[in-house]
């Protein structure tokens, strides 16, 4: 199959040729004809599978073929993204695909001045990429009208709910024309997303190119048990031992990011951090420097977990496990993209055993544990498996002391082979913090 056989027009084919896309990915092969046929879509695809092109290419084609000209302060298509970084990235891809088309594209998001965005919208744009909060601000200030909108794309819809955007989505929903095409994309699909889809989509075609909630199989994953207080030391040790060149590291909190960056910089390691407290320009600069390999280690909170496309990123380290198990899939999806292989290492302390268990249950696999010599934890990480059980070992009865002979065996913990994958369906739901659509205040990002 080629992009031409999917019915894409010549200016798009030319752009794809320049980008070196030869064959449509599975999600593209299914999404492109459906979107061109005007269907609503509910698409679940693993991270890095090419879903951006899956919605952007047919969208650009429809706008080129059909459109009346865009009116002042209007948009003909809206792509909603959960984070500023993702909005920038999606916009960059859309602009590349649209390079030979007479269409205008633009991205708006918070954290930067609204005035230039209002100016830019005056003439109207064909495709607007936006984060929900800023979109609503622009709408309320009459800088944007949505009556000409013909297509809405919700990208990373589950993440938008996880970030507490349910109220904003409900508001935006009320601002939209009733007659429109809606495409909902997400790497993972929770029941809440299915209910959101039920409200926003009209007879959607469901596309699922990978099993539900399974991490990309191009990513080699393992866990290193360690005491909490020795995580930074272990990270530096592994980094030096493995001669890691470019690593995206996830920490749980903003303070955690800053503390690790300070520690690494103090050791002369080229590291930078991004999190929600930093101004947008600083975050973008850190990301750009990481992408161009000027910065070796980028430490981030989950704000950076979704959608960031860093070419050939070889490694992701979970310095802390995510609180929401699905974030694990998004985090490790930053590596092993577009057919490349990658590694994802999680440094796990005893406190995090329930999170580990939730991740294993969600991904339906028992993660291999590799004990690092000299870093064996004093606080043992209890055994876990994909059934969601946390196995607390019964205390061994004390052995009577024997004189001399072979004692002093060190507890090196349990090694679990990757062959130990338990196929069991999860019996208990992992702990998730997903707000219900249309209720509750937005959590602070
Ligand atoms: P996405 O999942 O949309 O973030 O895309 C992941 C990466 O795959 C991006 O770097 C895209 O440029 C690349 N990509 C998307 N579709 C194709 C394709 N058909 N052939 C080659 N690379 C692709």
CA–centroid distance, residue 49 to ligand 1 (Å): 6
CA–centroid distance, residue 254 to ligand 1 (Å): 30
What angle, 0 to 180 degrees and rounded to 10, lies between the N-to-C axes of helices 132-140 and 166-175? 40
Ligand 1 within 6 A of 84 CB? no
Ligand 1 within 6 A of 48 CB? yes
For atom 19 of ligand 1, the residue with the nearest CA is 24
Superfamily the domain 219-391 falls into: P-loop containing nucleotide triphosphate hydrolases (3.40.50.300)
For atom 20 of ligand 1, the residue with the nearest CA is 21
CA–centroid distance, residue 262 to ligand 1 (Å): 34
Ligand 1 within 6 A of 89 CB? no
Band of residue 217 on the pLDDT scale cut at 50, 70, 90: low
Determine the Cα–Cα distance for residues 267 and 274; give it in Å rounded to an integer: 19
CA–centroid distance, residue 56 to ligand 1 (Å): 12
CATH 3.40.50.300 in the chain is located at 4-208, 219-391
Give residue-wise pLDDT tens across range 319-354.
Answer: 999 988 878 887 887 777 666 678 999 999 999 999
Residue-level pLDDT at 398: 54
Give residue-wise pLDDT tens across range 232-277.
Answer: 999 999 999 999 989 999 999 999 999 999 999 999 999 999 887 7
CA–centroid distance, residue 48 to ligand 1 (Å): 6
More confident residue, 26 or 120: 120
Determine the Cα–Cα distance for residues 226 and 218; give it in Å rounded to an integer: 26
- Domain range 4-208, CATH architecture: 3-Layer(aba) Sandwich (3.40)
For atom 22 of ligand 1, the residue with the nearest CA is 21
Give residue-wise pLDDT tens across range 298-310.
Answer: 999 887 655 456 6
Ligand 1 within 6 A of 3 CB? no
By most ligand atoms within 8 Å of CB, the mutation choice from 30, 53, 307, 313 for ligand 1 is 53
Ligand 1 within 6 A of 336 CB? no
């Amino acid at each position: 199959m080629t992009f031409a056989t999917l019915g894409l027009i010549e200016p798009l084919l030319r752009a794809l040729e320049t980008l070196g896309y030869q064959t449509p990915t599975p999600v593209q092969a299914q999404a492109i004809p459906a979107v061109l046929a005007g269907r609503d879509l509910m698409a679940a695809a693993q991270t890095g599978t090419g879903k951006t092109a899956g919605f952007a290419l047919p969208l650009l084609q429809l706008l080129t073929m059909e459109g009346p000209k865009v009116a002042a302060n209007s948009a003909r298509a809206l792509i909603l993204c959960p984070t500023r970084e993702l909005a920038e990235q999606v916009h960059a891809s859309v602009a590349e695909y649209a390079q030979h088309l007479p269409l205008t594209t633009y991205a708006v998001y918070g954290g930067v001045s609204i005035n230039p965005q209002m100016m830019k919208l005056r003439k109207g744009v064909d495709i607007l990429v936006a984060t929900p909060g800023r979109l609503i601000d622009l709408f309320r200030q009459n800088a944007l009208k949505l009556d000409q909108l013909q297509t809405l794309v919700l990208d990373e819809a589950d993440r938008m709910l996880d970030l507490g955007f349910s109220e904003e989505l409900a508001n935006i929903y009320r601002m939209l024309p009733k007659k429109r095409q809606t495409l909902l994309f997400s790497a993972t699909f929770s029941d809440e997303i299915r209910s959101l889809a039920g409200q926003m989509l009209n007879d959607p075609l469901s596309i699922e190119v990978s099993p539900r909630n399974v991490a990309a199989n191009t990513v080699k994953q393992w866990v290193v048990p360690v005491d909490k207080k020795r995580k930074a030391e272990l990270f530096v040790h592994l980094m030096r031992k493995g001669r890691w060149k470019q690593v995206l590291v996830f920490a749980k909190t903003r303070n955690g990011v800053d503390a690790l960056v300070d520690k690494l910089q103090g050791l002369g390691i080229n590291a930078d951090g991004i999190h929600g407290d930093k101004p947008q320009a600083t975050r973008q600069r850190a990301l750009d420097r990481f992408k161009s390999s000027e910065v070796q280690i980028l430490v981030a909170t989950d704000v950076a977990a979704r959608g960031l496309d860093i070419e050939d990123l070889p490694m992701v380290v979970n310095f802390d496990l995510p609180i929401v198990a699905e974030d694990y899939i998004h985090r490790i999806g930053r590596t092993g993209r577009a057919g490349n292989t990658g590694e994802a290492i999680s440094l796990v302390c005893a406190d995090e055993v329930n999170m580990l268990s939730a991740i294993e249950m969600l991904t339906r696999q028992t993660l291999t544990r590799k004990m690092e010599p000299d870093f064996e934890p004093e606080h043992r990480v209890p055994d876990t498996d994909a059934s969601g059980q946390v196995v607390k070992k019964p205390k061994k009865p004390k052995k009577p002391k024997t004189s001399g002979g072979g004692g002093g065996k060190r507890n090196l913990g349990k090694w679990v082979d990757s062959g130990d994958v338990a196929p069991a369906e999860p019996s208990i739901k992992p702990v998730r913090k997903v707000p219900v659509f249309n209720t509750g205040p937005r959590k602070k990002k």
